[in-house]
Structure 1
Amino acid sequence: MPTEPRLMTNEWQAFWLAVGFLTRIPMPVHINYSQKLMNQCSLYFPLVGLFLGTLYAGLFALLSLAWSPLVCVLLVLCFHLFITGAFHEDGLADSVDALGGGYTVEKRLEIMKDSRIGTYGTVALVMALGLKAALLLDAKSIWLALLVMPAISRITPLLLMSFMPYVTDPDKSKSKPVAEGFSRKRLLASCVFTVLVAAIFSLWLPGLWLAALTAVVSVALLWGWYLQRQLGGYTGDALGASVVFCELVLLMGM
């Protein structure tokens, strides 16, 4: 069994590996990369989301000193797309292109691997970003929505990874190492963390916990069911799309 210092070192590296996987933020520590460490890093997706949410909320508060809420929200969304490399939005566009334009599983997977964006993906991306901005402006507390939304939404792909098979080419996938061998115990730890986030911030916005539960469960079940029917499982792009869907449903609940 690993000693406690070794275990802490592994977890510290797993956290920063999750940061590097989900964002463009440079990792300040040396990572002893391995398949196992890549498996472990998914535990920290909601924590990385909370870190991003802190940046978004802080930036919004700073920008609010000079500009209107609309301008501030749009600038925060630009910052989000930059710092994450539009990681999840790219997954949304690819997923919608594939599921809208493919008539067989093989064709859908082929379209999903294509780096070009089509009509379906473009429309989905524009509508998702526009709806996200509109819902943020309608939120009772914009800064709180920006803070908790990234953390809560990133539990959804973990649920899909835990209960569904992976169906794309592992040699060409970025998410396969994360999904392979995903531990249910680590999923439970991520769920507990997400529940705590929702419960704590419900003190500022009563009902947040219900909106969070509804968003995570409904997207995981409905999107997971649709993916199972259309693909027989999930892909990395589909996981990214699940984050965007969960954010939108959560914002509608808030």
Structure 2
Amino acid sequence: MAPQPSRKDPTLPHTIASARQEWQAFWLALGFLTRVPMLIRIEYTQTLMNQSSVYFPLIGLLLGAVYAGLFSALSLLFSPLICLIMVVSAHLWLTGAFHEDGLADSMDALGGGYTVEARLHIMKDSRIGTYGTVALVLALALKVALLMETSNIGLALLISPCLARLTPLVLMRCMNYVTDPDTSKSKPVAEGFSRQRLWAAFAFAALVALAAEPWAPGLLTWSALSIGLVAWLWGRNLKQNLGGYTGDALGASVVFTELALLACLTV
């Protein structure tokens, strides 16, 4: 009998291409949210930037692992308060104060602008004003204070960056983008974010919360409450004052969610 010709699986090239695209999307998310250099060559496209959003919680978990490990190492030499100040400083350096910058710009815009146009103009200004300075100082001080009150500081440092990065995904999915796309670096991330990838991000974060439940009972419930409350209250504020969200507003939502979650963990 003559040998049969081999048949290649037609789905194999597509699977490999999809896996390669997801790998690049992960690195693109890492480079977008942190100062970590991308170690692979990225074939940048609008679609790839859209897909990278699903990896925000994973990037948060990796950052949390760095913070928790750093805190454990520093605890051998310093008091918890000093360790936390050092960890927060490392966080600001590693992320380039990405979300904190969004918080400051958002507070300056909402506090100092009386029209939508004026608020958006202030938000694009790189200078920081009184409202932004006060909000930033209070947020950082409250973060350290809440971490000091948690029963497991290392666990809080590990999981809060992961879970807090779900809130901007909810806002991106449920609201309209209002900033000029030519002047914002967050527009490519926001555009075309699918419902399926949002659910994938939620599933990943839920698994993280469930895995931590033995050390933090009720974490899944507290996380859902924190994310839902911030998304609703902050989203409502943005809808009333801007008509939608901006990149800075997304960053502020991460800070707010972290504070709300840490507050729940202290109860």
With normalisation by structure 1, the TM-score equals: 0.99
Determine the structure 2 residue equivalent to 1:38. 49
1:31 partner SS:
coil
Task: Kindly state the Cα deviation for residue 146 of structure 1 after the two structures are TM-superposed.
Answer: 0.2
Secondary structure class of the residue paired with 1:204? coil
Q: 1:206 aligned to 2:222?
A: no
Question: 2:216 is paired with a residue of what secondary structure?
Answer: coil
Residue segments in structure 2 that go unaligned for 5+ positions in a row: 1-10
After superposition, residues 9-24 of structure 1 pair within 5 angstroms as: 9-24=20-35
3-state secondary structure, aligned to 2:217 = coil
Equivalents in 2 of 1:27, 1:56: separation in Å? 20
- 1:61 maps to what in 2? 72
Cα deviation, residue 79, structure 1:
0.2
Aligned residue runs from structure 1 range 1-254, under 5 A: 3-254=14-265
What amino acid is the match of 1:48? Answer: I
Superposed displacement of residue 98, structure 1: 0.1
Whole-Å separation in 2 of the counterparts to 1:215 and 1:26: 31
Q: Which residue type is aligned with residue 12 of structure 1?
A: W
Distance (whole Å) between structure 2 residues aligned to residue 226 and residue 219 of structure 1: 10
- Shift of residue 203, structure 1, vs aligned partner: 1.4
Cα deviations by residue, 1:61-120 (Å, 9 ceiling, x for unpaired): 000010000000000000000000000000000000000000000000000000000000
Instruction: Give the aligned residue type for 1:163.
Output: C
CA distance in 2, matches of 1:245, 1:17: 24
Question: CA-atom RMSD, angstroms?
Answer: 0.8
Question: Once the 2 structures are TM-superposed, how far is the Cα of residue 207 of structure 1 from its aligned partner?
Answer: 1.4
In 2, distance between residues paired with 1:173 and 1:202? 38
What TM-score results when the alignment is normalised by the length of structure 2? 0.94
SS in 2 for 1:3: helix
Q: Alpha-carbon deviation of 1:209? A: 1.3
Q: How far 1:16 sits from its partner (Å)?
A: 0.4
The size of the alignment, in residue pairs, is 254
- Displacement of 1:145: 0.2
Q: Distance in 2 between matches of 1:199 and 1:231?
A: 36
How far 1:208 moved relative to its partner?
A: 1.2
What percentage of aligned pairs have identical amino acids? 63
Q: What secondary structure is seen at the aligned counterpart in 2 of 1:232? A: coil
CA distance in 1, matches of 2:213, 2:257: 18
Q: Deviations over 1:131-185 (max 9, x none)?
A: 0000000011000000000000000000000010000010010100000011110
Name the aligned partner's letter for residue 149 of structure 2: D
Shift in Å, 1:204? 1.1
CA distance in 2, matches of 1:19, 1:239: 16
Greater radius of gyration (CA): 2
